[in-house]
């Protein structure tokens, strides 16, 4: 493989002129159905995540009237709700939003760990893209920064990840149907 000056492989140019095919997910949400699972715990943060998530879906073409928002008590409960939602097969993707803040609670590690590992299992078990939009922060200040102030908004990021994943999986399937 040809190498660039710094020694890394040059992905674009092989001596036989061949290139790999690229399969990507576009950021178009028109016609897609989303389920959002959001926790009430720390709702002053999760409401901001939700609002940015909805706004991002809408800006990318989703019909907000077709989005279902499912509220649950805390981040610990998100995986079970998301699992039931995924199993209905009513959604192209599930977006999980929550805020686990370490503060002084020893609860943090259990809640954050269970939320992450529970949410991670859902797409593997069901095939439905399920997005981890749960903030895990050391302080309230950090959570505020990631919910629409200094450090972006995790709800908007989660919406983009959901749109991309749905389209990527659809592109993979189409690509192989076409290639057969």
**Which of these segments, 48-56, 104-112, 125-133, 157-165, binds ligand INI (CB under 6 A)?**
104-112
Q: Applying CB under 6 A, which part among 5-13, 73-81, 116-124, 156-164 lies near ligand INI?
A: 73-81
Alpha helices (runs of H) in the chain, residue ranges in sequence order: 43-59, 78-87, 107-126, 140-145, 154-179
State how far the alpha carbon of 17 is from the alpha carbons of 3, 6, 20, in Å.
Answer: 14, 21, 10
CB of 95 to ligand INI, least distance (A): 15
Which of positions 76-95 make contact with ligand INI (CB under 6 A)?
76-77
Cα dist from 15 to 21, 42, 61, 84, 89, whole Å: 16, 56, 42, 51, 46
Closest CA to 41 of 120, 129, 103, 86: 103
Rounded-to-10 torsion of CA 48, 54, 55, 58? 180
Residues 159-178: x/- map of binding to ligand INI (CB under 6 A)? --------------------
Site track for ligand INI across 123-152, x = CB under 6 A: ------------------------------
**Residue 39 makes contact with ligand INI by CB under 6 A:** yes
Known active-site residue 60:
no
Among 52, 75, 96, 147, binds ligand INI (CB under 6 A): 75
Q: What are the catalytic residues?
A: 107
């Amino acid at each position: 493989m040809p190498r660039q000056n710094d020694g890394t492989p040059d992905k674009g140019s092989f001596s036989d002129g061949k290139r790999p095919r690229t399969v990507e997910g576009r950021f178009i949400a028109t016609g897609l159905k989303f389920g959002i699972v959001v926790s009430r715990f720390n709702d002053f943060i999760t409401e901001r995540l939700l609002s940015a998530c909805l706004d991002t879906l809408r800006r990318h073409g989703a019909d907000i009237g077709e989005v279902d928002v499912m509220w649950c008590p805390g981040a610990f409960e998100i995986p079970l709700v998301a699992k039931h939602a995924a199993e209905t097969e009513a959604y192209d993707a599930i977006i999980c939003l929550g805020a686990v803040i370490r503060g002084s609670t020893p609860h943090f590690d259990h809640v954050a760990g269970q939320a992450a590992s529970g949410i991670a299992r859902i797409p593997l078990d069901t095939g439905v893209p399920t997005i981890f939009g749960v903030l895990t922060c050391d302080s309230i200040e950090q959570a505020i920064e990631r919910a629409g102030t200094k450090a972006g908004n995790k709800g908007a990021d989660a919406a983009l990840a959901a749109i991309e994943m749905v389209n990527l999986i659809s592109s993979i399937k189409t690509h192989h149907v076409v290639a057969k």
